[in-house]
């Protein structure tokens, strides 16, 4: 009997989450402004040529070029030809090594199509097919395929980078920071999910698994804490405070405040003012 046996070393970074895949075609001089990327993005050029502005750095993109833009980068896509066509894949649950991350972008340049390019294009098309038709457990298949895709990219001799498992719940923390910085704006669940390019169900699940509450519950609490502070320390009217904290109507603010703190905003202010007067005496 003759047999071969190969042991597989176990690792905890085998699977990468694919958040979305898109196929974009831009006409000559058309521009697509992404703003600040909430996730890492992989670009693969199919045909035509264009210019990507990544943090004010210009990168020319030709067919079969690959570009990886890091989370937090600001990016604008500009077409230099009549049909500039490229794939975009957004990924999470992965971080890049510090040395490469400082560059904000990784790019591979190729002048002709070869076998390795066909392999990469094959996996991208498979991912697109799975995302489009959503067959049984397509999410798991997409995760496996994008992990293979990135490994194929890593195997190229002209691009060196390593992958690490990011800090746990980094996505939830990013959402928390966004809410904390914009709580007094007109924030909705649709707006947050669009901002972070995820479905509302995924957003709620990931955030609640970390904080024990939904993003909108967190937003309401953040607004209420700000309102309490203003009621204590400012002479603003209750209507002005409710508007400043992001509430569209004072009546809703009054109802929500009373439901949470068991007292009206006016009574809360009077109670605190009375305590201050007693302390001064």
Q: What is the pLDDT along the chain (281 residues), one digit of tens a residue?
A: 667 666 656 555 556 778 889 999 999 999 988 777 878 889 999 999 999 998 878 888 888 888 888 877 888 999 999 999 999 998 876 766 545 444 555 666 654 445 556 888 999 999 999 998 988 888 889 988 998 888 887 776 555 555 555 554 567 888 888 888 888 899 999 999 888 877 888 888 888 888 889 999 999 999 998 898 899 888 889 999 999 999 988 999 999 999 988 899 998 888 766 554 444 44
pLDDT of res. 253: 92
Q: Where in the chain is the domain with CATH 1.10.10.60?
A: 170-279
pLDDT of res. 277: 47
pLDDT of res. 51: 93
Task: Tell me which of 2.60.120.620, 3.50.30.30, 2.60.120.810, 3.20.20.80 is the CATH number of domain 17-164.
Answer: 2.60.120.810
Q: Let me know if 62 is exposed, middle or buried by CB neighbors in 10 A (0-12, 13-18, 19+).
A: middle
Residues 265 and 236: beta-carbon distance below 8 Å: no
Cβ atoms within 10 Å of 57's Cβ, excluding its own: 12
DSSP element (H, E) containing 155: none
pLDDT of res. 280: 47
Tell me the per-residue pLDDT of 4-43, one tens digit each, with 9 for 90 and over: 666 656 555 556 778 889 999 999 999 988 777 878 889 9
Residue matched to tokens 């591979």: 108
pLDDT of res. 7: 64
pLDDT of res. 115: 55
Residues 63 and 46: beta-carbon distance below 8 Å: yes
CATH code assigned to 170-279: 1.10.10.60
Structure tokens at 27: 């006409």
Structure tokens at 99: 């040395």
Q: Where in the chain is the domain with CATH 2.60.120.810?
A: 17-164
Question: How far lies 48's CA from each of 59, 124, 168, in Å?
Answer: 14, 18, 39
How much is the pTM?
Answer: 0.61
């Amino acid at each position: 009997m003759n047999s071969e046996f190969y042991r597989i070393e176990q690792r905890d970074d085998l699977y990468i989450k694919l958040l979305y895949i898109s196929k974009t075609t831009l006409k000559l001089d058309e521009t697509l402004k992404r703003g600040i990327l909430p996730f890492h993005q992989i670009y693969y050029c199919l045909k035509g040529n264009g210019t990507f502005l990544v943090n004010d750095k210009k990168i020319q993109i030709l067919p079969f070029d690959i570009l990886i833009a890091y989370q937090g980068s600001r990016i604008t896509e500009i077409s230099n030809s009549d049909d500039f066509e490229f794939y975009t894949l957004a990924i999470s649950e992965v971080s890049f090594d510090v040395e490469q991350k400082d560059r904000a972008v990784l790019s591979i340049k190729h002048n002709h199509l070869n076998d390795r390019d066909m392999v990469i294009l094959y996996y991208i098309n498979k991912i697109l097919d799975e995302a489009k038709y959503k067959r049984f457990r397509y999410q798991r298949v997409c995760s496996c395929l994008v992990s293979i895709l990135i490994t194929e990219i890593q195997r190229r001799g002209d691009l060196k980078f390593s992958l690490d498992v990011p800090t746990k719940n980094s996505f939830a923390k990013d959402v928390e920071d966004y809410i904390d910085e914009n709580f007094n704006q007109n924030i909705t669940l649709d707006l947050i999910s669009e901002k972070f390019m995820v479905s509302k169900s995924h957003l709620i699940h990931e955030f609640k698994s970390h904080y024990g509450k939904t993003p909108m519950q967190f937003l309401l609490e953040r607004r209420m804490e700000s309102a309490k502070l203003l009621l204590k320390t400012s002479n603003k009217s209750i209507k002005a405070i409710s508007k400043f904290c992001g509430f569209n109507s004072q009546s809703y603010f009054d109802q929500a405040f009373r439901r949470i703190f068991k007292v009206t905003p006016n009574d809360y202010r009077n109670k605190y003012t009375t305590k201050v007067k007693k302390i001064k005496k």
